[in-house]
Amino acid sequence: MTPTIIAKGIKASESLREYITKRLNSVMTRTQHSIQDITIRLTDLNGSRGGVDKRCLIHVKLPGISPIIVTGFAADITSAIDMATQRVSKVVSRVLSRTKAIPHVTMPLYIKKSFLGT
């Protein structure tokens, strides 16, 4: 799984990109096969003023299901990434378990004439 990483106000170094990829691979091992696309947006909301202003937004696309968007806020970017990846892992697992639990009824290939009333 290769995520698309978009950074605004944060320098997305190669080591940070590797950290994100490793973190996603370790957290989402069971659900990787179901994910079509994953986008990660890293943002520093307050700039140099500091505080709990680092945001990691993860956008996951699954086939046949509406997109899942999870956000993590923290004082440093790695904590925000950790928080968001944990949340998205739980949400994706829950959504996939609910969609697989829905029973599917198949229609018969033919209908008897007596059933139609003729």
Task: Return averaged pLDDT per consecutive 10 residues of the chain, 118 residues in all.
Answer: 88 92 90 90 82 89 91 93 95 86 61 59
Strand partners, 57: 41, 71
Q: Could you tell me which of 82, 101, 85 has the C-alpha nearest to residue 28?
A: 85
Domains of the chain: 4-102 (3.30.160.100)
How far apart CA 67 and CA 1 sit, in angstroms, is 17
Amino acid 111: pLDDT: 60
Residues 6+ apart with CB under 8 A from 6: 39, 40, 41, 42
DSSP letters, 33-48, are GG-SEEEEEEEESSGG
Amino acid 63: pLDDT: 87
Amino acid 46: pLDDT: 77
Amino acid 98: pLDDT: 83
How far apart CA 83 and CA 74 sit, in angstroms, is 8
Amino acid 116: pLDDT: 56
